[in-house]
Amino acid sequence: MNIPIWSDIMCPFCYIGKKHLEAALAQVGLKEKVTIQWKSFQLDPTLDSKAQPMTTQQYLIQKKGMCVEQYKQVFERLVMMGKEAGIDFAQSGAFIVNTWKAHKLMHLAKKHNKQSEMKVLLFEAHFISGKNVAHEDVVVSIAALLHIAEREVRDALSDKIFLIRGNKIS
């Protein structure tokens, strides 16, 4: 069975949902019978890929109009939900960036049958390690963990492999 999921690397609820889905599939004995196909979805495609990254708090306050107290409540709830799913969020250190390069990396990983592993590495880099997944050297180093060649990654990031139309990768 194939399950397509539209997700963004900087969506904490996508990470939590992934963990819950995996647990549910394991519980009913379907983990080995299901293939997850990760589709690209950007929460905020308007983010300038060359702009200085913002912290999650800065982004939610400046771009989404939250006050500091609202952010704290959302963050506390997120941390609790993460712990329940087995994720130790370090969301306060996460950068809100244009995730286009990370999505390209996901599609490259699919060619290597490593898309789910890449998704985990990108989630961990963003939410736990606080890495800037819009930075080319960061995504190259993440790809190296899955033994994907640097030249292939850099070609994918420069659109030499994937056809880009609007916000879709094919």
Q: How many domains does the chain have?
A: 1
Strands 35-40 and 2-7, by their bridges, are: parallel
- List 55's β-bridge partners, or say none: 95
- The dihedral region occupied by 163, where left means phi > 0, alpha psi between -120 and 50, and beta the remainder, is beta
Domain containing 131 — which CATH number? 3.40.30.10
Kindly report, residue by residue over 84-120, the tens digit of the pLDDT: 999 999 866 788 999 999 999 999 999 999 999 999 9
Instruction: Give the Cα separation of 127 and 158 in Å (integer).
Output: 25
- What is the pLDDT at residue 91? 64
Kindly report, residue by residue over 43-75, the tens digit of the pLDDT: 998 888 788 888 888 999 999 999 999 999 999
Full-model pTM: 0.89
| Residue 94 or residue 134, greater confidence | 134
Task: Write out the residue range of the structural domain in which residue 139 sits.
Answer: 2-169
